[in-house]
Structure 1
Amino acid sequence: MIMATTSLEAQFVTFSLGEEIFAVPVEVVREILDYAEAFKIPNGPDYLLGLRDVRGQGVPTIDLRLKLGMTKTVPTPHTRVLVLDVPMESRLLTLGLVADRVFEVTPFRREQIEAAPDIGVRWRSDYIAGVVRRENGFVVIIDLARLLSREDASVLQSAA
């Protein structure tokens, strides 16, 4: 008899920022778009690229590289925008996340997902929901609600 394994694994969308591979749960991804310049918003934080029209909705778009302390994204033909619906405390926050490249939807078994590593220094790793080992390195699963502070969420919400 074959047992259903749906509760033992979860689907993730994998993408890269530079050489690093990240993942977000597939259920928060609404769609994946080709990169286009966003409409600039004055006085926003540096990681907020601006607004992008997504099917008639103004969606705040962020450069995740800047949010994570990396260098600014330099768009290439592979650059994509993941449109995400992120569950926050009391609402759903829709935002665009710029990725250097989007790879695939892939399942990870629950036992493959390790806790975020404690590296013993004052480095924000609380946004890491887990880490999955692969032959060629690691995939970091991002907890978007933790990555975006309350302050970030209100800035992004008011931008929209």
Structure 2
Amino acid sequence: MENINIIKTSQYLTFKLGDEVFALDVAQVREVLDLTTITKVPRTPDFMRGVINVRGSVVPVVDLRLKFGLSETEGTLDTRIVVMELSLDGEITVIGAIADSVHEVLEIGPDQIEKPPKIGSRWRTEFIKGIGKQDEQFIIILDIERIFSTDELAIVEVTATDMPLPEGATEAEQEETELKQEEAQK
């Protein structure tokens, strides 16, 4: 078995998009939320569904299904938003990603992970850290920071800082967001 550059056992949050099981390093995951109302944002890429309010912060939400060339995610009782942190030019960017369902946190060792195949894959291999195997099931371990280009994330980040909070936000959340927007403009 050919290992990749994963050298220690790590924990991964598993989730589904269509029939495939994907995983993210739990160190990048802030929280998992129920699907909520997403405020649409004009002039953004198709995969950008809008923004949500997460404890006073405006967080952009993307549809990974659209980013991967699948049909748009249909909201169900199992649909979740995975809020994660990405490194963008040395700065942390918080972004939410819609998943059809979220399953569990698994420990996967480096001996259980192989390089993604170069041919015959539905997914772009540069987006994949490796293919894990757990109980006869393959798990696609994503390199989430490579899925979005710096330009795409910059558009999402600028758009999110310009957006007002959704209706129903508390006065304290509004004030906190305004302060963050002022800081971002400096």
Same fold (TM over 0.5): yes
Report the alpha carbon displacement of residue 121 of structure 1 after superposing the two structures with TM: 8.4
Among all aligned residue pairs of Structure 1 and Structure 2, give the percentage whose two residues are the same amino acid: 38
Which amino acid is 2:20 matched to? E
CA distance in 1, matches of 2:99, 2:75: 9
* Matched position secondary structure for 1:129: strand
Please state how far the C-alpha of 1:136 moved relative to its aligned partner.
Answer: 4.5
What's the TM-score once normalised by structure 2's chain length? 0.78
Aligned length: 154
- The Cα shift of 1:89 comes to 2.6
Return the alpha-carbon distance in structure 1 between the equivalents of residues 64 and 33 of structure 2. Answer: 16
User: Alpha carbons of 1:125 and 1:35: their partners in 2 closer, same or farther (altered >3 Å)?
Assistant: same
Q: Which residue of 1 aligns with 2:87?
A: 87
Post-superposition shift, 1:120? 6.8
1:48 corresponds to 2:85: no
Of 144-153 and 12-21, the range deviating more from structure 2 = 144-153
Structure 1 CA distance for aligned equivalents of residues 154 and 54 of structure 2: 20
Shift of 1:146: 0.6
What is the rounded CA distance, in whole Å, between the counterparts of 1:122 and 1:136 in structure 2?
20
Residue 123 of structure 1, CA deviation: 6.4
**Which position in structure 2 is the counterpart of 1:12?**
12
Cα deviation digits, residues 15-48 of structure 1 (max 9, x gap): 0011100000001110110001211000111110
**AA partner of residue 103 (structure 1):** H
Query: In the superposition, relative to structure 1, how do residues 121 and 140 fare at CA in structure 2: closer, same or farther (>3 Å)?
Result: closer
Aligned partner letter, 2:75: P
The amino acid that maps onto 1:41 is: V
Bigger-Rg structure (1/2): 2
Cα deviation for residue 82 of structure 1 reads 0.5
CA-to-partner distance for each residue in 1:119-156, whole Å, 9 max, x for gaps? Answer: 17896320101101234531001111111112211111
Is the strand fraction higher in 1 or 2?
1
Q: Which amino acid is the alignment partner of residue 72 of structure 1?
A: E
- Residue pairs, 1:121-160, within 5 angstroms: 124-160=124-160
Deviating above 4 A after TM superposition, structure 1's stretches of 4 or more consecutive aligned residues are 120-123
How much does 1:79 deviate? 0.3
After superposition, the CA RMSD in angstroms is 1.7
Structure 1: state its 5+ residue gaps. 1-6
- Listed as ranges, the matches of 1:95-134 within 5 Å are 95-119=95-119, 124-134=124-134
Q: CA distance change for structure 1 residues 123 and 130 in 2, over 3 Å: closer, same or farther? A: closer
- Between 1:69-78 and 1:132-141, the stretch displaced more is 132-141
Correspondence 1:59 to 2:59: yes
Amino acid at match of 2:84: L
1:126 aligned counterpart, secondary structure: helix
- Larger helix share, 1 or 2: 2
